[in-house]
Each structure stands twice: as structure tokens, then as C-alpha cells.
Amino acid sequence: MNKPSLRELKKEATVHALADAAFELALEKGLDGFVVDDVVQRAGYSRRTFANHFSCKEEAVVMAAVSFKGIDEAEFDTVDLPEGTTPLDALHQWMRLQLTTDMLCKMRVLVTLSKSHPTLEPYILGAFHQLQKRAQETLSGFFHDRYPEEYSHIVVGAVYGAILPIVDGSINVQLPGEPADEMPNAATFDQYLDTTFGYLRNGF
């Protein structure tokens, strides 16, 4: 994968700083307790800069969960995948890099916030779609034309569909770092991910 330019890195840093500031304010004051001016003041940027990257504070709050600073792509590019690796194998590796504890915890917080602030919902769905798109583009770039295009779409859609219940709390899955005694009967995230890919490889 191409190394990001200095301009791209600077843009990512700006987006990340604004998004983090918005997320922190949402936790501290609630979504109705702050405005865009509060976000730019905390992050140290202008309102115009905010408008260059986000349409509203809700979008900025959600982006705090899915901004990666390019780390996951760089790490995946150095993963030594053996010859004969399938898109499922590669996607399994990708998910372990992309779906960090921090990201999943933030997504859970966002879903909780959206219950009292429905204006967040379309941005959460958009962010989740962005995660899928990144995975799809990564698989396409890695395998090129070795598999039918629809295959990777189906695989990515199935896996990310299985992640949604973790985020919205429909099923209990213990994330790395969470105390086991608080969720004694819950599968760990790694177990759940392995089970998901086991079903996709071997059938249901």
C-alpha cells in the first residue's frame, strides 16, 4: 500500500483531534451540552477547519470511534500471509487489527448515546459502512482479480453483520481488558471472532 503523504498525515491528525474533542465533550456534557465552537476551542482549530471535515458535531463524535490514523493499513501490509491464503483468512487477520478494544468500546458508547439522541444513528450506520468499505478495498487490493468480485462483498458483509450485535449489546461478548467476572458466561471477543469465521469456513 502507498505510504501516506505529509499532507494526508496532517489531515488525518486534524480530523482525529477534532473528533476526539467532540467525543470527549459528548461524554462530559451530553450531546446537547456543547456546540461546535466548544469542539474547535478544545481541539485548537478554527470553525472553518471543522466545516472542512465534518457536517455537524454528531458526525465528529462518531468519527472518534473509526479514525485509525493509518495504523491498521500499515500493519496489515506487513503481515506475512502464507501462500494459498484465502480472502476469509486475510479478512480474519484484518479484523483483528481493525476491531480494536478502543474502537468497539467507543462504538458501544455511541449506540448508548443514540438511544437518547437519535440524530447520531445515521452517522453510526455510516461509520459502520466505512469500516466495511475499508475491509472490502483491502481485500480487493490484496487479491486483485483472483476471486470473483461478489465473493469478497458477501464475505465482508457477513462478517460485519456478525459484529453488529456486539456493538449494539444484543449479545454479551467480553472485550479484551474487560473483567471476566462481570460477564461470567460470555465468550471473549477472540472466541466469538473465531466462531464466526469457523461458521463461514465450515458451514452452519
Structural domains of the chain, with CATH:
1-63 (1.10.10.60), 68-204 (no CATH)
Q: Give the model's confidence band at 71: pLDDT under 50 very low, under 70 low, under 90 confident, else very high.
A: very low
Report the alpha-carbon angle 125-127-129, nearest 5: 70
CA atoms 159, 163, 199, 77: torsion sign = positive
16-43: per-residue pLDDT in tens?
999 999 999 999 999 999 999 999 999 9
CA atoms within 13 A on the CB side of 108: 18
> By the 8 A CB rule, do 146 and 188 touch?
no
Q: How far apart, in whole angstroms, are the C-alpha atoms of residue 154 and residue 187? A: 25
145-204: per-residue pLDDT in tens?
788 878 888 999 999 999 989 988 889 898 877 887 777 788 899 999 999 999 998 987
**0.95 exceeded by the pTM?**
no
Average pLDDT value over all residues in the chain: 86
| pLDDT value, residue 74 | 47
DSSP 181: G
